[in-house]
Amino acid sequence: MSITIKDEQGIQGMRLAGRLASEVLDFLTPHVQAGVTTNALDQLAHDYITQVQQAIPAPLNYAPNGYNPYPKSICTSINHQVCHGIPNDKVLKKGDILNIDITVIKNGWHGDTSRMFVVGEGSIAAKRLCAMTYEAMWHGIVKVKPGARLGDIGHAIQLFAEGLGFSVVREFCGHGIGQVFHEEPQVLHYGKPGTLEELRAGMTFTIEPMMNAGKRDIRETGDGWTIVTRDHSLSAQWEHTILVTPTGYEVLTLSEGSPPLPSFVTTSSC
């Protein structure tokens, strides 16, 4: 296997899938409130994806090598949960921070994106972790252009995160995406500039840094999916699906409800 280059038709497919994934987050946003269960969010998202968007929730029954089939349509990771949290019947509480990760398949193409939500009034520390993880993702995105290397992306994210005193999770990374959910390359969120694969126009991959308030160490819980911080510190993650254009990048997972770009970013497409 090697890195796939999408042609114009593939890019159109990825644009549609990416926008739909982001629109699921827009749809869910008013429902993310204290007292709501993550199962309710999962059900709402499942119905919206399958009935309104006529698309497929990629996580449902997804079973990579060595994993049990994932039982739900979305991932919901709360507080010290890093990623791949499984929706359940617990209610959200004021002050919780929550990542919702959506992947849809439309006409065979995948769009993958996640955002952080703060339930009610979050603590200053929780809000800062969420905001800085968003900026960290964008520090990676703006490095994307033909001729740059994957190590440039990882380095930019690591430098920014660690400069603020946060840690970067190493065990999970961004990934190539297209007609396959997780394909080559791996997109590490740490590294050295000028190293690893050179970017070429037509590549599509995600950038999805996970940042912890405490140490970077993680462990898998007994459900076989949910990843948590070992020290139980808060963790945040944001994710976009990116196209390498002839001159830079295009963020494919944008919609009306996407948060504004950080002040150091001038455009979502160049």
**Given the rule CB under 5 A, which residues bind Co ion?**
101, 112, 206, 239
β strands within 137-252, DSSP E: 167-168, 174-176, 183-187, 204-207, 210-212, 218-220, 227-229, 235-237, 240-244, 249-251
User: Which of Co ion, ligand MF3, none has residue 106 at its interface (CB below 5 to 8 Å by kind)?
Assistant: none
Task: Put the strands of the sheet holding 235-237 in their side by side order.
Answer: 167-168, 210-212, 235-237
Nearer to ligand MF3, 99 or 167 (CB): 99
Nearest approach, Cβ of residue 206 and ligand MF3 (Å) = 6
User: Which of Co ion, ligand MF3, none has residue 96 at its interface (CB below 5 to 8 Å by kind)?
Assistant: none
Give the binding site for ligand MF3 (CB under 6 A): 59, 62, 70, 75, 84, 101, 103, 112, 206, 208, 225, 239
The residues, ordered by sequence, that sit 6+ positions from 83 with a Cβ below 8 Å of its Cβ are: 75, 77, 99, 101, 169, 172, 210, 227, 237
Residue type, 195: T
User: Which of Co ion, ligand MF3, none has residue 62 at its interface (CB below 5 to 8 Å by kind)?
Assistant: ligand MF3
User: Which of ligand MF3, Co ion, none has residue 135 at its interface (CB below 5 to 8 Å by kind)?
Assistant: none
Nearest approach, Cβ of residue 113 and Co ion (Å) = 7
Nearest approach, Cβ of residue 239 and ligand MF3 (Å) = 5
β strands within the chain, DSSP E: 56-57, 75-78, 81-83, 97-106, 109-118, 167-168, 174-176, 183-187, 204-207, 210-212, 218-220, 227-229, 235-237, 240-244, 249-251
Nearest approach, Cβ of residue 266 and Co ion (Å) = 25
User: Which of ligand MF3, Co ion, none has residue 190 at its interface (CB below 5 to 8 Å by kind)?
Assistant: none
What's the farthest any 2 CA atoms get from each other in the chain? 48
- Residue whose C-beta lies closest to ligand MF3: 59
- Pairing, β 183-187 against β 174-176: antiparallel
Nearest approach, Cβ of residue 84 and ligand MF3 (Å) = 4
Nearer to ligand MF3, 26 or 223 (CB): 223
Nearer to ligand MF3, 88 or 193 (CB): 88
